[in-house]
Amino acid sequence: MGNILDGVKIAASIYADIKSRCGVLAKKGIVPGLATVLVGEDPASHVYVGQKIKQCGENGLSSIHKPLPATATEADVIRVVHELNRDPKVHGIIVQLPLPKGIDPEKVIIELDPAKDADGLHPFNQGMLVRLKSWKDICASGIPLPCTPAGIIQMLLFENIPVEGMTAVVVGRSTLVGKPVAQLLSSLNATVTMAHSYTKDLMKVCQSADILVAALGKPGFINKDGVKKGAVVIDVGITRSQNGLKGDVDFEHVKDLASWITPVPGGVGRMTVAMLLKNTVVAAEKMAS
Ligand SMILES: NC(=O)c1ccc[n+]([C@@H]2O[C@H](COP(=O)([O-])OP(=O)(O)OC[C@H]3O[C@@H](n4cnc5c(N)ncnc54)[C@H](OP(=O)(O)O)[C@@H]3O)[C@@H](O)[C@H]2O)c1
């Protein structure tokens, strides 16, 4: 069986760094604050926001929770975002997605102060990500990176998994995951193919990957026919089922082929919240300097 890329272990190292940086900021009287905007009653969103608030409490950040009813309008949500933009105690803001029908997430996200964009989804920050060529330049810019893609890169770096010169295939091209992770892998000098629902012969394309990122939201879709022996397999998918969370990769049949593989749960998902808190701490450091 391949090595497990352990999200619990790697996220713990991120939290240790966050705690120590919060300690330095505390000496200057600064507590990094993460604001969570939650609209409506979606049960999964409530769980995700609860996890974020819990991790803030455990790692030296304050959390500012802004729940809004499902009846809230786009204007109501934007008004809250503007308030948080102005609040000096808030260094990072996340608007939990998905938003209820009738509220356009693009119209809300663009209203965030890009400096407080803890999720790294503001068009300014995503535009910078496209413009900056190397990983070194991206890190030096201090822009907040989309959390799940940044978490995936941290996993590869933590385990010293070579990326430069590797062939990477990313299945999925969303703004949240697929596009930014492809951009980040390219910044680390991988040769990247972005596959999607129109890709012909998808399993053959996946077979070419040294690093395969599955972010399509179809449980168990990537089977052993899509995995080259020795490939690094990153499973981003999270689908809730009666038997718990399911990833996009058929873990049981792929694990013996992969050199490294992320489990679901306990893989990429664990990194996402850690990177959200990290973006907030970095924003607080920048605002303090
Ligand atoms: N672990 C985490 O923390 C985390 C964070 C975010 C998301 N997720 C999970 O990751 C998965 C993807 O999320 P997302 O927001 O990126 O989803 P999304 O916005 O629905 O995008 C899915 C992408 O997959 C592609 N796709 C769908 N079916 C396909 C198929 N049969 N063959 C090839 N490509 C296909 C789509 O192609 P088209 O563009 O052609 O439609 C699209 O680009 C979901 O399970 C989500 O829950 C996990």
Q: Is residue 176 part of a domain?
A: yes
Integer Cα distance of 180 and 186 in angstroms: 10
Please report the pLDDT score of residue 21 as a whole number: 98
Parallel, antiparallel, or unpaired: how do β-strands 33-39 and 62-68 relate?
parallel
- Within-domain flag for 234: yes
Beta bridge partners of 211: 168, 232
Distance 37 CA to ligand 1 centre (A): 23
Query: Does the annotation mark 96 as catalytic?
Result: yes
263 lines ligand 1 (CB under 6 A): no
Q: Find the 174 Cα to ligand 1 centroid distance in Å.
A: 6
Single-letter code of the amino acid located at 99: L
Q: What is the mean pLDDT of each run of 10 residues along the chain (289 residues)?
A: 95 98 97 98 94 98 98 98 98 97 97 98 98 96 97 98 98 98 98 98 98 98 98 97 94 97 97 98 95
Amino acid at the residue 279: N
pLDDT at residue 2, as a whole number: 86
Would you call the peptide bond into 146 cis, given omega within 30 degrees of 0 as the criterion?
A: no
State the amino acid at position 255 in one-letter form: K
Give the chain's domain count.
2
Q: Which atom of ligand 1 is nearest to the CA of 178?
A: 16
245 Cβ contact list (under 8 Å, min separation 6): 238, 239, 264, 265, 269
* Containing structural domain, residue 266: 146-270
Looking at the domain assignment, is residue 122 inside a domain? no
Q: For residue 127, is it within any domain? A: no
205 occurs within a structural domain: yes
For the domain that residue 185 is a member of, what is the CATH number?
Answer: 3.40.50.720
Evaluate whether residue 231 is within a structural domain. Answer: yes
**CA 72 to centroid of ligand 1, rounded, Å:** 27
Upstream peptide bond of 67 is cis (omega within 30 degrees of 0): no
The model's pTM is: 0.97
55, 96, 126, 183: the catalytic one is: 96
| Cβ of residue 278 lying under 6 Å from some atom of ligand 1 | no
Q: In angstroms, what CA-CA distances link 60 with 24, 151, 171, 208? A: 11, 20, 36, 43
Instruction: Tell me what pLDDT residue 133 has.
Output: 93
Tell whether ligand 1 has an atom less than 6 A from the beta carbon of residue 108: no
Same domain for 160 and 240, yes or no, is: yes
Contact 258, 286 (CB under 8 A): no
How many residues in the chain?
A: 289
pLDDT of residue 289: 87
